[in-house]
Structure 1
Amino acid sequence: VVKAFDHIDGEYVAIKIIKNKRPFLSQAQIEVRLLELMNQQDNDNSGYIVRLKRNFTFRNHLCLVFELLSYNLYDLLRNTNFRGVSLNLTRKFALQLLSALLFLSQPELSILHCDLKPENILLVNPKRSAIKIVDFGSSCQIGQRLYQYIQSRFYRSPEVLLGIPYDMAIDMWSLGCILVEMHTGEPLFSGTNEFDQMMKIVEVLGMPPTNILEQGTKTKRFFEHLPDNTWVPRKNKERRYRSPGTRKLHDILGVDAGGPGGRRTGEANHSVSDYIKFKELVQQMLEYDPKRRILPFNALQSPFFKRTYDDTSNVNHTMPSNSNINNNNNNNNNTLLNLNSTSSPNLDANHQQVKNPGRKSMNITNHAFLNGHK
């Protein structure tokens, strides 16, 4: 993805250049079709989905021209030194992301994002808390071709891990993981491989229900079926895991301990009651059974959002002028179709990569923003 200046419209845009290989081209064509469908359905630009302006082919490369957005939520986390943002800001992000999932769940769309993660959620403006979802390169519609290998590992749902047919509930699982990470600063389930991922989920949520395990085509990679008809995690020689369900979400969030690591002790809007509401919502998002996992509409009715409604806060409220956010472009100049372009944050960044030249750091020192007041 490159940042470029459109001399015809007189504005900066982001251009996603697709590799000149048939599999990439085929998937990009699906992405274009889905984006056009979403943008058409989202006439008033309120769906929290990035807007595709147009597409063209240049030297056999399909190029997708998007509105230019700002930094992603992983960048935001990194600039808290991975200590997380306030519960207020987490709430504002949650409200927008649930609204986006509700939008995608419309019968006219029925679109699964399939790769929801902090890198694929971008700030519209570095001084505001409004966000949009990007990168629909792995997306599909219910009833269309569904892929076996989807979702970045940290945010991969149990049904995908176990080899169970999946639906739109996989994005809700990813969102639950993201919200915890945004507040604690660390991934909730940071598996190094699929086995490790599944075991880290089990440490927190306990064993999956038997009916879920029995549906999976890959269940026996992770669990052993005993003669008494019970399931237990497979032994692993490389590392030992805590007993199922003993790493409590209650403790991870620091519900009655002043937040994660006690860092929110005495801070306004971080009461035990606030944390209980947050925990209960996340637990409903992380339900093993996708049929019982909370739906976007129901999640939006959560008591966790009552404070937001009472405050009638506006996610587009401008930050104070003394905010100090370094949003300068880097100096790597390229040429694309006679457009003056510079490298931009990589909209497709992989959370698990150690080195990623597409990521840029930003210096956020405005505590009003990080605490969710904007």
Structure 2
Amino acid sequence: MTVAGVQQVTELLGKSLYLALKNQKHRPRPGVRPNTLRIISKQLCECMQFLREAGLIHADLKTENVLLQHPDMTLDDPNPRVKLIDFGAATWDEDDHGTIIQTRHYRAPEVVLGLPWTFPCDMWSIACIILELREGVLTFDTHDTAQHLAMMERLSGPIPVAMARNADHGAEDLFDRDHWRLRWPELSGGERGRKRDYRAENEVERVRALTERLSDDALLRDMLVPMFHIDPSLRLTPRDALSSPYFTSSLTSLAN
């Protein structure tokens, strides 16, 4: 079979969720509809369960790597289907793990801190994708490590002391050595301690507002909060996510 004279070796998929979300920007609320969010979120968790059973960690989950199943499919379809792509960074759990994985905005706390990582890092990324689909914007829109960790704390609570103590890659310098508290907003001007940047602080507080808006959807909140657990050993597993009321309750309970 050929497409435009080129031999087709894989199925032809549609737009990425990243591009599909960009098309939503013209709407009063750029995120996807509640029913669409649940349908796509369930597929993502099913993908994670499949990968976990196979012993494979994707390690680069983001909206660019989740594609709609057909070229003519949109987020307005009543039952959108998605497929996961780009396994270039994937690794088997028993293999050696690199120190830097995942695209920054979807990077799990243990990876940011230079700690050992495994399957739960993918669940953190999935939580980022789900919240991005709901809000229409990146959850952690930063390239600064201190600001990134501060955003995580606004969403999920303080970095556990044990994780702060064992941080690597220079991240250990971002904590007060007496109480192992993140040095924020002192480092809001950058990791070299320049003049405080109040715009950076405001961006951190924006993440706090996301958590407040989640209170409007108790079922989603109750699933996402444990998916965003900073301690990977306590983070929600795909199996537990799929058995949560967010997925098991009647679809008719959600407004379109």
Give 1:121's aligned amino acid. Answer: V
> How many angstroms apart in 2 are the aligned matches of 1:246 and 1:166?
24
Match of residue 172 from structure 2: 220
1:119 paired residue among 64, 72, 79: 64
Equivalent position amino acid for 1:124 in 2: Q
Q: Quick check: which one's helix share is greater?
A: 2
Equivalent position of 2:84 in the other structure: 133
Contact 2:155 2:211 in 1 (8 A): no
Question: Cα gap change, 1:162/1:239 in structure 2, threshold over 3 Å: closer, same or farther?
Answer: same
Structure 1: unaligned runs, 5 residues or longer: 14-64, 257-274, 313-370
Q: In 2 relative to 1, CA 95–116 (structure 1 residues): closer, same or farther, beyond 3 Å?
A: same
- Contact kept, 8 Å, 1:206 with 1:244, in 2: the verdict is no
Alignment partner, residue 75 of structure 1: 19
- In the aligned structure 1, how far is the partner of 2:173 from the partner of 2:209? 25
Q: Greater shift after overlay, 168-177 or 211-220?
A: 211-220
Over residues 159-215 of structure 1, what are the superposed CA-to-partner deviations in whole Å (9 max), with x where a residue is unaligned? 000011000100000011110110110111111333332222223223111122222
Give identity over the alignment, percent.
Answer: 28
Q: Which of 113, 125, 128 is matched with 1:177 structurally? A: 128
Moved over 4 A (4+): 242-246
Offset at residue 221 of structure 1 (A): 3.6
Letter in 2 for 1:67: E
The answer to which of 291-300 and 205-214 deviates more is 205-214
Amino acid at match of 1:288: I
| Greater strand proportion | 1
Equivalence for 2:191: none
Corresponding residue to 1:290 among 197, 221, 232: 232
TM-score, normalised by the number of residues in structure 1:
0.57
> Aligned ranges for residues 1-374 of structure 1 at < 5 Å?
5=3, 13=8, 65-81=9-25, 83-106=30-53, 109-125=54-70, 126-127=72-73, 128=77, 129-218=80-169, 219-226=171-178, 229-234=179-184, 235-236=186-187, 237=194, 238-240=196-198, 241=201, 247-253=208-214, 255-256=215-216, 275-307=217-249, 310-311=250-251
**CA separation in 1, counterparts of 2:55 and 2:20?**
30
Which amino acid is the alignment partner of residue 37 of structure 2? T
Rg larger in structure: 1
Looking at structure 1, the residues matched to 180 and 147 of structure 2 have their Cα atoms a distance apart, in angstroms, of 21
In 2, the alpha carbon distance for the partners of 1:230 and 1:154 equals 24
d(CA) in 1 for partners of 2:123, 2:244: 14
Size of the alignment, in residue pairs? 233
Equivalent residues of 1:177, 1:188 under 8 A apart: yes
Amino acid at match of 2:110: E
